[in-house]
Structure 1
Amino acid sequence: MDFAFDARTEELRGRLLAFMDEYVYPAEAVVHEQRAGLDSPWRNVPVVEELKAEARQQGLWNLFLPDSEYGAGLTNLQYAPLAEIMGRSPQIAPTVTNCAAPDTGNMEVLAQFGDEAQKKQWLRPLLAGEIRSAFAMTEPEVASSDATNITTHIERDGDEYVVTGRKWYISGAMHPDCAVFIVMGKTDPDGADIRRQQSMVLVPRDTPGVTITRAMQVFGYEDHYHGGHAEVVFDRARVPVSHLIGEEGGGFAIAQARLGPGRIHHCMRLIGMAERAIELMCRRAVSRDAFGKALARQGVVQNWIADARVAVEQLRLLVLKTAWMMDTVGNRGAHTEIQAIKIATPRTVVGILDRAIQLHGAGGVSQDFPLAELYAGARTLMLADGPDEVHQRSLARRELKKYL
């Protein structure tokens, strides 16, 4: 395994680092100021639109897509250090480079499983950043950690599918530019194979019967950069049968294909968040005195910083190994490693951010530093794309199987 950056990765890293320094970090405070004056809190603020144009002009656009027909054509190993850099400012950088969830996963689904008409209608505008999208899977009425529990029905009625169900924490749904939902529901609820009961359909947002009932908060934050999270009701919403993605009964498999890259992207960005936290810790430690000496000279603070550095280096190697395996043996072959990073990375980064907040005192929980919002995002990822316990259960069963 060779994790050295190749020439293209180094070149893109250089451009992206310069873009972050010149445009992204200075925009963090501007975003909050401009959002206060918007008629809709979910719409992109002017500075974000300006940065999107700049990123596209600099060729820092759709870097996540490995298919060169649609994106940059980078491998997971090439994209990993770029996602880490963007993770240092997750509220802005992924959005302005068109590398933000949930659009990334939706574009991957359409690129891999969509037909030509679906790609023309939805994928092309998403690639161009002209529209946003949402992925509707999680439901409030059931334990959605088990995806086979979903109760939304997708019933065939002649040349249409009728979608009925309630979803929540549907990322991106509050954004005014969200034009389409990828909805997972059951087309064969009584089928013998519980992993062949589900299908996915494209439901335009303006479809009669689609109602966004409320915005969902995350630790009190509204996650504007994700386009918010919403509770959405589908009340006999009708779409043409041509809006089926792939085949009937293929929804579970498509979801797994979507979540593999999504999980590693989250972990890549989490490492960037941890690096930002370490940087802030060090700057704070050398600038503040307590009990007669700088915080940087306090043993407990030195331990926090040292432990954080060790943890980040360990995580990065595990994530890079996972990226390399996904590139060489595929997502299925890297199943154990994907689960391992999904368990280890959010948990570890939450701990690093917690120490960074502690070091900043009252400032750590304020809006004057990004730490509280970073913490909320990292802690959420212990639930999103599968709770830690589900991955632990699956990983343990794979390990035990060798001995049974």
Structure 2
Amino acid sequence: MDFGYSPRTQELQAAVTAFMNEHVYPNEGRYWQELEANTQAGKRWTPLAVIEELKPKARAAGLWNLFLPDSELGAGLTNQEYAPLAEIMGRVPWASEVFNCSAPDTGNMEVLVRYGKPEHKERWLKPLLAGEIRSAFAMTEPAVASADATNIEARIERDGDDYVINGRKWWTSGAGDPRCKVLIFMGKTDPEAPRHSQQSMVLVPMDAPGVTVLRPLTVMGYDDAPHGHMEVDFKNVRVPASNILLGEGRGFEIAQGRLGPGRIHHCMRLIGLAERALELMCKRATQRVAFGRPIAQQGVTRERIAEARCRIDMARLLTLKAAWMMDVAGNKTAKAEIAMIKVVAPQMACQVIDWAMQVHGGAGMSQDFPLAYYYTLARTLRFADGPDEVHRDAIAKLEIGKHTPVA
């Protein structure tokens, strides 16, 4: 098992880092200024010019669609090769969009590449790959505990040459962006089928009659505009039967293929965010004096810095192992490692960011530093793509199974 980065990955690491240094870090302040200006002008849900200006630069630099393993449509990188690039992008929460590597578009593009019909690829995949439109993934529902996706009640019912869709979804990330043109919707096609064959996925245009964005949801006060996490109502929404993906009853199969790589991306971005928090923590600790000496000389601060370094590196190694196993043995074989990183990385990031906030004192809670916002992102990932409890249960079942005699 060799976690050494390939020459191509090292070359791309250097290129992405150089791009971040030249274009992204210097524009972090501008990002928030533009968002505030849009808010004051009554245009909060408007794409930000700073991101749109940087996209052509990233594309011209060959740093575009790096997440996509398809060598013709994307960079052709393996999960292990892309993972360290996701970490670099993750140091600034909005940076991945600059490289057209942001969720939920990445997962949706992979679904369209694998399961989309030629007309789907022409209408939606091509503009997504070009960064011209955005997309969303409608799965979670407010009326049921969606951690168990078999609870989902939204319906996808066949009616002649169409499917008719009814239901209410929330935490539909990306649906607030005016560029969002298509959703992948998960719902029940056959409530009487076996438990994991009841669900299907279907493509729904955002402008289809009956699709209504009800409201943005906030995460500890942040609405993540213009991306957003929306509550969306679907009332008698009619789409062509050809919009079904892979076939009726294949929703869970698609979800597993979609979520495996996505969890690698999420975890590596969180590791990048934790690295940034540790960097801010160390700088602040050396600059502030309390009780007659720099905070960096306080024993508790040094202990936390050391522990943060250990936890970040452990999370990275586990995530790279999961990525490597997915590449060499497939997502199914790597399911324990994928579940483990989904537990470990968000909890690690929450703790490291919390320690960094503590070193910053009251300032760490304010808008003068990004740490409070970082914390909301890390805390959200303890729910997104499955809550901690679901992944822990899966890990425990696999572990118990190793020591249980076969009947």
TM range (shorter): over 0.9
Q: Does 1:219 align with 2:220?
A: yes
Partner amino acid, structure 2, of 1:251? G
Where does residue 146 of structure 1 map in the other structure? 148
Where does residue 117 of structure 1 map in the other structure? 119
Where does residue 101 of structure 1 map in the other structure? 103
Q: Does 1:338 align with 2:341?
A: no
The CA deviation at 1:70 is 1.4
The CA deviation at 1:395 is 1.0
Instruction: Name the stretch that deviates more: 30-39 or 196-205.
Output: 30-39
Question: d(CA) in 1 for partners of 2:103 and 2:176?
Answer: 14
Aligned residue for 2:213, secondary structure, equals strand
Where does residue 69 of structure 1 map in the other structure? 72
The CA deviation at 1:115 is 1.4
Partner amino acid, structure 2, of 1:306? A
Where does residue 195 of structure 2 map in the other structure? 194
Where does residue 168 of structure 1 map in the other structure? 170
The CA deviation at 1:120 is 1.1
Instruction: Name the stretch that deviates more: 164-173 or 40-49.
Output: 40-49
The CA deviation at 1:34 is 1.3
Question: 1:5-404 residue pairs with structure 2 within 5 A?
Answer: 5-38=5-38, 39-90=42-93, 92-191=94-193, 193-224=194-225, 227-404=227-404
CA displacement, residues 141-195 of structure 1 (integer Å, 9 cap, x when unaligned): 000000010000000000000000000010000000000110000010121x111
TM-score, normalised relative to structure 1: 0.98
Aligned residue for 1:94, secondary structure, equals helix
Question: d(CA) in 1 for partners of 2:6 and 2:233?
Answer: 47
CA displacement, residues 78-134 of structure 1 (integer Å, 9 cap, x when unaligned): 1111000011001x2111111000101100111111111111111111000010000
Question: d(CA) in 2 for partners of 1:295 and 1:399?
Answer: 43
Question: d(CA) in 2 for partners of 1:394 and 1:82?
Answer: 28
Runs (4+) of structure 1 moved beyond 6 Å? none
Aligned residue for 2:184, secondary structure, equals strand
Partner amino acid, structure 2, of 1:116? P
Question: d(CA) in 2 for partners of 1:43 and 1:134?
Answer: 16
Question: d(CA) in 1 for partners of 2:31 and 2:399?
Answer: 46
Question: d(CA) in 2 for partners of 1:40 and 1:137?
Answer: 28
Partner amino acid, structure 2, of 1:336? A
Unaligned 5+ runs, structure 1: none
Question: d(CA) in 2 for partners of 1:42 and 1:314?
Answer: 38
Question: d(CA) in 2 for partners of 1:183 and 1:156?
Answer: 15
Question: d(CA) in 2 for partners of 1:317 and 1:113?
Answer: 32
Question: d(CA) in 1 for partners of 2:332 and 2:72?
Answer: 23
The CA deviation at 1:403 is 2.4
Question: d(CA) in 2 for partners of 1:122 and 1:26?
Answer: 33
Identity of aligned residues (%): 59
Query: How many matched pairs?
Result: 401
The CA deviation at 1:36 is 2.1
CA displacement, residues 305-361 of structure 1 (integer Å, 9 cap, x when unaligned): 000001111111111111111110011110010001001110111001000001101
Partner amino acid, structure 2, of 1:53? P
Question: d(CA) in 2 for partners of 1:17 and 1:102?
Answer: 23
The CA deviation at 1:362 is 1.2
Question: d(CA) in 2 for partners of 1:104 and 1:27?
Answer: 24
Question: d(CA) in 2 for partners of 1:320 and 1:190?
Answer: 40
The CA deviation at 1:7 is 1.2
Question: d(CA) in 2 for partners of 1:46 and 1:135?
Answer: 25
Question: d(CA) in 1 for partners of 2:329 and 2:45?
Answer: 40
The CA deviation at 1:50 is 0.7
Aligned residue for 1:400, secondary structure, equals helix
Partner amino acid, structure 2, of 1:302? R
The CA deviation at 1:399 is 1.0
The CA deviation at 1:398 is 1.1
CA displacement, residues 342-385 of structure 1 (integer Å, 9 cap, x when unaligned): 01110111001000001101111111111111100000100110
TM-score, normalised relative to structure 2: 0.97
The CA deviation at 1:402 is 2.1
Question: d(CA) in 2 for partners of 1:256 and 1:5?
Answer: 27
